[in-house]
Structures are given as structure tokens and as C-alpha cells.
Amino acid sequence: MNLRIEQEAERVGADWFNWAVWLEGPESDLDQVEMVVYKLHETFPQPLRKVTDRKKKFRLETGGWGEFMIYAQVHLKNEGEVPMRHWLSLEGASLRSGAPRSTQRCVFVTSGIADEPLADAVHEALEREGLRVVRPTDDADLPPEASVRQVLRQAHAAVMILSERPSPWLRMELKAIAEQRLPVIPVVVGEHSVQLPTEVAAAMEIRIKKGQPLEAAAAEIAKGVSASTAF
């Protein structure tokens, strides 16, 4: 087979890019493909992405701020598999015209480890509402505080999901959020009360019942955040 991964990237802010990857090759070879499973960097909320759309050449569209190796497992209709990889290069990406970053609200979403499944669902629900979402990342080249500040520079507000008292990591993020003077929308899971530091500007509070179905809770949170006039 003569298949390869192609890409395109578009700069939409000072340090944010929208990008896409897809399969290129002879039509006869593409016709043999059933699906492609892309493995993104582990900092993505869902690093494994399955694409089955043959008409779009198994195109995957998403966004981020860094370069990394994309691994792909090409599943064939004859039950064979072809491993592939592609280095996502953002150097020289074109700047989007007519769509400055300020026209799209950007939300920083974070949570404790126990609430990560809900944070992932909220991430997707917010994107369906037309908001851009950024998340905490593990940048080996930066101290944790500097990495968080770098991500926060893209955001207009922060959503913090809390089912228990903020951990030391979340308290560090709250300090960085306060330094950036971003409004915070706390999402409280359960009946407990949450007291944020006085220097943090809480825009509103969203309360979710414990045990509520994940997708329903995420949709409710996204609707509340999207309707907020705080940012």
C-alpha cells in the first residue's frame, strides 16, 4: 500500500493552532481502509481518536499549541493493520484571516483527578456550544506553575470542577488564575460548600447533583458557562 499522513495547520492566536491530519494515497488503497485510530499526545483529553469517514480521507480535525508525534493504526477491511506515524509540524502555519482570537471565547477547564471524566465530557460539551477549550498540560520544559500560566494566557475565563476540597495542585491553579485576573466559574458536585480564595473573582456557581449522568451533567454545565456574561 502507498498511503501517507498529510497535515494542514492554521494559527488562530499567539500560541494556538487549529490543525488537521488525514490519509493520502491512491484511491484504490484508500478504499481498502475501514478506519484509522490516531493516537495524540497524552495531554489531550481523549488521545485516541477513531475516524471512519472515507469520503474525507479519514480526516481528523482538532487544535493545540505544541508539536508532537502522531501515531496512527490503519485498520483494513481485510482485518489487517498498518502502523503509521507523522510529526505534527506547526512551523510556518498560516494566520487565519478575518477571525481574530478575541471573537471566540476561550475557557480553561480543570478538575481534580477524581473529576477528570466529567472534565473531559464538559470539554466536549463546551466545544459543541462554540467555545474554545484549553486544559492543563504537562510540559516537561517548564515548571508546573509556568506551564499553567502559559495555558491561561489563552483563556477568558476558568471553569473549575470540584467534588471535594481543592487539592494543592488546584490551589496553585487558582493562584495563577487570580494573577491573570480571570473570572472563575466553580462547578460544585454534590451538596458541600466551596470557599474560594478572596483574590479569586467567582463569576457564578454551577451546582451538579452527585451521581447525575455524565453527559447530562456536562451539557448542563456547558449551557450555564455559555450563557454566562462574565467573559
b/e map 44-65, b = 16+ CB within 10 Å:
bbeeebebeeeeebbebeebbb
pLDDT score recorded for residue 7 = 92
pLDDT score recorded for residue 8 = 92
pLDDT score recorded for residue 25 = 93
Beta bridge partners of 180: none
**The C-alpha cell of 24 is what?**
493520502
pLDDT score recorded for residue 101 = 41
Global model pTM greater than 0.85 = no
pLDDT score recorded for residue 44 = 84
Write down the residue that cell numbers 515548571 correspond to.
143
Neighbours of 73 (CB within 10 A): 15
Question: Which segments in the chain show pLDDT lower than 50?
Answer: 97-102, 140
CB 187 within 8 A of CB 159: yes
pLDDT in tens, 42-85: 888 789 999 999 999 999 999 888 888 899 999 999 989 999 99
**The C-alpha cell of 163 is what?**
467534588
pLDDT score recorded for residue 57 = 96
**The C-alpha cell of 74 is what?**
490503519
pLDDT score recorded for residue 100 = 39
Domains and CATH numbers, the chain: 4-95 (2.60.40.1970), 104-226 (3.40.50.2300)
pLDDT in tens, 163-173: 888 888 898 99
